[in-house]
Structure 1
Amino acid sequence: MYFDRSNLSDAQLLSFYRALVYPRLIEEKMLLLLRQGKISKWFSGIGQEAIAVGATLALDTDEWIMPLHRNLGVFTTREMPLDKLLLQWQGSESGYSKGRERSFHFGSQPHHICGMISHLGPQLSIADGIALAHKLRKENKVSLAFTGEGGTSEGEFHEALNVAAVWGLPVIFLIENNGYGLSTPVSEQYNCASLVDKAIGYGMEGIKIDGNNLLEVYQTISTARAYAIQEQKPVLIEAMTFRMRGHEEASGVKYVPPALFEEWGKKDPVIQFETFLLENNLLTANDIKTIREELKHSIEADVAKGLVDTPITVDTHIEINDLYAPAPATVAASGPKTEKRFINALSEGLKQAMEQHPELILMGQDIAEYGGAFKITEGFVELFGRERVRNTPLCESAIVGAALGLSIAGFKSMVEMQFADFVTCGFNQIVNNLAKIHYRWGQPADVVIRMPAGGGVGAGPFHSQSNEAWFTHIPGLKVVYPATPEDAKGLLTAAIADPNPVMYFEHKALYRSISGPVPEEYYTIEIGKARLVQPGDDVSIITYGSGVHWALEYATQHPALSIGILDLRTLLPLDYTAIRDIVAATGKVLVLHEDTLTGGFGAEISAWIAEHCFHLLDAPVTRCASLDTPVPFAGALEKNFLAKSRLDKCIQQLIAW
């Protein structure tokens, strides 16, 4: 094995040796502790340490790395204390994730390491967002994301590489090709000669290297870093290596031909680098023994400190409180109000938010010169420039991931789903990354996802869904659904000011059909507070979005009935106090929403009322929702589908109870 030591001093080479052998010795200790039952699980990187260590050494310490579960060398090279890592691996309250995550599913802002999720691919898109932040700030920095050869089969791999290439992002994608997924060999994973061949399809540089050669990894990453910064382009690197242990220790290695272990054992990265140092008289056999004994002694001392059985103090209040980062105080509305359509209020709110937050980036399909499918961002490019108002390729998942990367790097972002229906393509990033990241390791996800939703416009099954209930089930998200122009503006500005991930629903049928007075100046409305539209004595309607206008229309048409209407405005978190108050006012409650009945958000409201307000009820809680079918296209079918067509029947049944 040839080692290129160009521009590296003897002292650097010796420090590199320590950085390489240290995670190997830790791993050997971990396997012993696993057999002793002192740790519960371990994903071994033995045999491929050179990739993690070499790549980390090649970057500045303030450049973000997106590692995976076999990259102990990233954490040790960034000098994360082993005793605290041990606490993390045990699920201790004193670890990096307060016992909420295991192994390497955590991150650390001070160490510029982003915690992985088990789905692997999303790390690549986060790297895009961080690299975009560097590009916007004109910093000479890169981001680096690890993936395995199995991860290259995921859609996120293709989306992330495409976005990086199209936007010209200084990001390094590093494939650790170790021959197997869990047990699936590469022959069943892809059909190209080399994974690096994929680079040309995205218009980027691709390099294949020996992942067991520490200096080849270091020199290649260093060169790629300089290129990515100078040219403002991404680089794909495929590092060939081999996993000498199972996917994790319980998996075993029976599926691997024994000859492969013999072949790759001769290429062991630690042994090869030791041999190089010995041959160049930089180390003696005695030096190696001394260094290893010194490191083992250090490891034993850290194990003694970190391998402690400390019971977690369980506090439900803390668990719930840590879901969200603290939100800023609301900004009260002041000054005159002007009559505006719903869509104009949204546009004005977004414009004022861009002025209020210079770090806010807008992303979405066709939102730049075209102004978006509904023209909400029309004229924004002229006002704020293409760096801040960004057309995206058609890849929802990568863009949501990039939005999270921007947040990690200190930006705010708004992602416009062209239609709420298309959010399915970004679902994983939203529910597993955005929603959980603050709870997992204290990292806010400062992202708003705008969701043009709802029917009544003859758009058929794939452009008309009311899919808010998909997200109200996910702890860590906030879900907002305004019904009036004033709320549309004030809740949008509040969502953008909030450092937490907000799913912001906008009903398309309200865009140009609803008008109302809207304060001209910048203001915000508190997320999580319902609005009493009107009081009533006979029946209470709890609703949101289009349902508010259906309820108002019905109340106007039936003046003999005293109908109280509560506009929830926010579905997560819910204003339970307001719900209780309107239940108490009439004792008869109708929950109205446009979404389909089964599993709709009305079921949650009904269940909560039955559990907490049963003594206030004079009749069972009634739900009025749309049919349990896809949204049909034909006008007559869509009218029959919508909950509005059953509103009178539901109210009359409730009144008659």
Structure 2
Amino acid sequence: MQFDRKDKNDATLLDLYTQLLYPRMVEEKMLILLRQGRIGKWFSGIGQEAIAVGSALAMKETEYILPMHRNLGVFTARDIPLKKLMAQWQGKISGFTKGRDRSFHFGTQEYKIIGMISHLGPQMAIADGIALADLIADKKQATLVFTGEGATSEGDFHEAINVASVWNLPVIFLIENNGYGLSTPINEQFKCKDLVDRAAGYGIEGVQIDGNNILEVYDTLSDLAEKMRKDPKPVLVECLTFRMRGHEEASGTKYVPQELFDLWAQKDPVKCFEEYLLEQRILTPESIAEIKADFKAGIEQEVEAAFLEEEPVADTATEMQDMYAPHPYQPVEPNQQSAEIRYIDAITDALKIGMQKHNNLVLMGQDIAEYGGAFKITDGFVDLFGKARVRNTPICESAIVGAGLGLSINGYKAVVEMQFADFVTCGFNQIVNNLAKTHYRWGEKADVVVRMPTGAGTGAGPFHSQSNEAWFTKTPGLKIVYPAFPFDAKGLLLSAIEDPNPVLFFEHKYLYRSLSGQVPIGEYTLEIGKANLIKEGEQLSIITYGLGVHWALSYLDEHPEINATLLDLRSLQPWDKEAVAAAVKKTGRVLILHEDTLSSGFGAELSAWIAEHCFEQLDAPVMRCASSDTAIPMSKVLEESFLAKSRLKESIDKLMAY
């Protein structure tokens, strides 16, 4: 291995050595503890330390790094105390996640490190969002994100690099190519000769380096980061290295030929750099022994202190509370002046007010800029707020939701438009595993609203008409809003923008231009989680939301002989249990109506809750009126038969006759 010190003085080289040695010695201690049964799992980065250490030291302290399992050197190079790291690994209450997540699955704003989740790819889109915030704020900073060669096969890898390329984001995408994805060798993972060749496909620079050469890593990353700060553009860096231990210790290494171990042992990053410094007379055997003795004593002390840290105490109320970032509701009362506007215009108005109020709010979505979006909701916004904050996106829902989280982490707010709610499947992982869990895991907000044009009634067929709210109502950490009127749509969307938690905001497409109502001029908010009691009656209670509210109103208008209570939930997570209980008590007969399919729709949760908590107030079984358990057909005749509306009369008659 050839080292080029360039203009580095002896002190700099010595610092690089100690930074490289320390995580190796920590790892060696972890392997001893593992054999002793004092820890349960370890993902070893032995043999790859030069990548983590060299790249981390190349970044400014104010710049974010998004590492992976085997990047202990990133954390130690950022001077995180070992005691704190050990507490995290052991699930202690003093760890970064308070025992809620494992190993390096955490973030810390103090040290500007954002950890990964087990799905490997999603952190790359988060890096995009972090870099986008820096770009908009003209901070002249770079962002560094790690991935392995295995994750380069994931869609998240390609989406994130494409977005960074199109938007000229200052992101260093660093691939640690260690030859194996768990046990699968690279010849079974990709066909191209080198992963760095993929950079050309995205029109960005690609650099391949020796990942075991600490000076080559440090110098290359330093140069790239400095260049990127002045001229923001992404770059793909492939670091060639080797994993000297198993994927994790339990998996072993029997699938790796011995000759590979022999070859890469000669390229050990610590040993090779140590030998170089001995040749340069910067180190001596005595100084090496002294450094190692000091490190060993310090590691022993920090590790044992961490073992003495308190274990978490299970408290269900605390755990549930911490799923969400604190957000005491501060009402903004509506103006006395109002205007008759359409449902769609109420949403436009809310977005406009949000953009005017928050200069750190960014809108992202397909065709939302000059074109104004598929439904023209953001028409004219580019002229008002500029393309930096009203951003057309490539067709890559996962990357854009992830970028929204990255914006939030770096001090911005994001509203992401799904062109149709159906397309959210392509961003599902980012929503349910990143947005929903981030605050619970390490106390960081996810200030992202995902707008979801939803629902049937327009003959749009199976892929543009689904009511998919139930996919998300069971996911703790998300808030789900589903307004039925223009007044509610505006007030609730403004509340969603204010809320630092992830909100999925369902907007029924059928109502966009078919429904109008009086809406106050200017800003006002409505509390998320509070239902709207539309009618009070004695015979039965209809509990519904979205288009179901209008089906119920229409039916009751056509049947004045029915004296019913009508409750519009407006929010499905959290939902108004007090209002539901009062509606049950009022009539003793409950019909739950929704557009979604019957089986496992949100009505099933309502029904179960009512049966469990309001049983004594019931005079009849809780009944559900929902759409058929089929995909949504395109034909108007078939669609009308599919929808719950076609069974509303039958359901009410059955309930009244019980």
Which TM-score applies when normalising by structure 1?
0.99
1:162 paired residue number: 162
2:407 paired residue number: 406
Deviation at 1:310, TM superposition (A): 3.3
Deviation at 1:521, TM superposition (A): 1.3
1:195 paired residue number: 195
1:588 paired residue number: 589
| Aligned Cα root-mean-square deviation (Å) | 0.7
1:288 paired residue number: 288
CA displacement, residues 80-136 of structure 1 (integer Å, 9 cap, x when unaligned)? 110111111111111110100111111111000112100010011000001101100
1:271 paired residue number: 271
2:125–2:400: 8 Å Cα contact kept in structure 1?
yes
1:467 paired residue number: 468
Match of 2:30, SS state, is: helix
The amino acid that maps onto 1:510 is L
- Give yes or no for the alignment of 1:234 onto 2:234: yes
- Give yes or no for the alignment of 1:523 onto 2:524: yes
Between the aligned partners of 1:535 and 1:54, the Cα distance in structure 2 is 68
The amino acid that maps onto 1:312 is P
2:349 paired residue number: 348
The amino acid that maps onto 1:235 is V
Deviation at 1:311, TM superposition (A): 3.4
Quick check: 97-106 or 328-337, which moved more?
328-337
Match of 2:645, SS state, is: helix
2:253 paired residue number: 253
Match of 1:363, SS state, is: strand
- Give yes or no for the alignment of 1:136 onto 2:136: yes
2:118 paired residue number: 118
Match of 1:499, SS state, is: coil
The amino acid that maps onto 2:276 is F
1:437 paired residue number: 438
1:495 paired residue number: 496
- Give yes or no for the alignment of 1:639 onto 2:640: yes
Between the aligned partners of 2:224 and 2:451, the Cα distance in structure 1 is 36
Between the aligned partners of 2:227 and 2:197, the Cα distance in structure 1 is 19
The amino acid that maps onto 1:549 is H
Mapping 1:550-589, distance limit 5 Å: 550-589=551-590
Between the aligned partners of 1:7 and 1:535, the Cα distance in structure 2 is 81
Between the aligned partners of 2:309 and 2:296, the Cα distance in structure 1 is 22
Quick check: 607-616 or 310-319, which moved more?
310-319
2:87–2:309: 8 Å Cα contact kept in structure 1?
no
Mapping 1:411-430, distance limit 5 Å: 411-430=412-431
The amino acid that maps onto 2:278 is L
Match of 2:114, SS state, is: coil
2:340 paired residue number: 339
Between the aligned partners of 2:459 and 2:236, the Cα distance in structure 1 is 45
1:416–1:449: 8 Å Cα contact kept in structure 2?
yes
1:479–1:573: 8 Å Cα contact kept in structure 2?
yes
The amino acid that maps onto 2:357 is Q
1:624 paired residue number: 625
Deviation at 1:560, TM superposition (A): 0.5
Between the aligned partners of 1:181 and 1:420, the Cα distance in structure 2 is 34
Mapping 1:318-333, distance limit 5 Å: 318-327=318-327, 328-333=329-334
Between the aligned partners of 2:350 and 2:9, the Cα distance in structure 1 is 57
Deviation at 1:223, TM superposition (A): 1.1
Deviation at 1:309, TM superposition (A): 6.4
**Structure 2, gaps ≥5 residues long:** none
1:349–1:489: 8 Å Cα contact kept in structure 2?
yes
Deviation at 1:230, TM superposition (A): 2.1
Match of 1:482, SS state, is: coil
The amino acid that maps onto 1:6 is K
2:513 paired residue number: 512
Percent identical across equivalent pairs? 63
Between the aligned partners of 1:300 and 1:548, the Cα distance in structure 2 is 64
Between the aligned partners of 2:339 and 2:147, the Cα distance in structure 1 is 52
Deviation at 1:6, TM superposition (A): 2.0
Match of 1:591, SS state, is: strand
Between the aligned partners of 1:144 and 1:544, the Cα distance in structure 2 is 44
The amino acid that maps onto 1:82 is L
2:204–2:235: 8 Å Cα contact kept in structure 1?
yes
Match of 2:184, SS state, is: coil
Match of 2:513, SS state, is: coil
Between the aligned partners of 1:578 and 1:84, the Cα distance in structure 2 is 45
The amino acid that maps onto 1:430 is I
Between the aligned partners of 2:6 and 2:63, the Cα distance in structure 1 is 23
CA displacement, residues 367-402 of structure 1 (integer Å, 9 cap, x when unaligned)? 000000000000100100000100000000000011
Between the aligned partners of 1:165 and 1:521, the Cα distance in structure 2 is 38
1:78 paired residue number: 78
The amino acid that maps onto 1:319 is E
Quick check: 413-422 or 300-309, which moved more?
300-309
1:543–1:566: 8 Å Cα contact kept in structure 2?
yes
CA displacement, residues 128-184 of structure 1 (integer Å, 9 cap, x when unaligned)? 001101100111101111000000000000000000000000000000000001100
The amino acid that maps onto 1:336 is Q
2:93–2:309: 8 Å Cα contact kept in structure 1?
no
CA displacement, residues 570-596 of structure 1 (integer Å, 9 cap, x when unaligned)? 000111000100010000000000001
The amino acid that maps onto 1:239 is C
2:94–2:309: 8 Å Cα contact kept in structure 1?
no
Quick check: 420-429 or 313-322, which moved more?
313-322
Deviation at 1:335, TM superposition (A): 2.6
Deviation at 1:445, TM superposition (A): 0.4
Between the aligned partners of 1:420 and 1:76, the Cα distance in structure 2 is 43
2:129–2:402: 8 Å Cα contact kept in structure 1?
yes
Match of 1:517, SS state, is: strand
Match of 1:162, SS state, is: helix
Between the aligned partners of 2:646 and 2:40, the Cα distance in structure 1 is 56
Match of 1:11, SS state, is: helix
CA displacement, residues 228-256 of structure 1 (integer Å, 9 cap, x when unaligned)? 22221000000000000000000000000
Between the aligned partners of 1:225 and 1:651, the Cα distance in structure 2 is 66
Match of 2:180, SS state, is: coil
2:365 paired residue number: 364
1:461–1:632: 8 Å Cα contact kept in structure 2?
yes
Deviation at 1:424, TM superposition (A): 0.3
CA displacement, residues 597-639 of structure 1 (integer Å, 9 cap, x when unaligned)? 1110000000000000000100000000001111100100000
Match of 1:324, SS state, is: coil
1:335–1:521: 8 Å Cα contact kept in structure 2?
no
1:121–1:154: 8 Å Cα contact kept in structure 2?
yes
Between the aligned partners of 2:413 and 2:331, the Cα distance in structure 1 is 18
Deviation at 1:484, TM superposition (A): 0.3
Between the aligned partners of 1:323 and 1:553, the Cα distance in structure 2 is 39
Between the aligned partners of 2:64 and 2:321, the Cα distance in structure 1 is 28
Between the aligned partners of 1:191 and 1:176, the Cα distance in structure 2 is 17
**Structure 1, gaps ≥5 residues long:** none
CA displacement, residues 542-586 of structure 1 (integer Å, 9 cap, x when unaligned)? 000000000101110110111111000000011100010001000
2:54 paired residue number: 54
2:147 paired residue number: 147
Match of 2:108, SS state, is: coil
Between the aligned partners of 1:168 and 1:310, the Cα distance in structure 2 is 46
- Give yes or no for the alignment of 1:602 onto 2:581: no
Between the aligned partners of 1:138 and 1:568, the Cα distance in structure 2 is 43
1:396 paired residue number: 397
1:184 paired residue number: 184
The amino acid that maps onto 2:323 is L
2:163–2:394: 8 Å Cα contact kept in structure 1?
yes
Between the aligned partners of 1:60 and 1:304, the Cα distance in structure 2 is 32
Between the aligned partners of 1:115 and 1:565, the Cα distance in structure 2 is 46
Which TM-score applies when normalising by structure 2?
0.99
The amino acid that maps onto 1:189 is Q
1:481–1:506: 8 Å Cα contact kept in structure 2?
yes
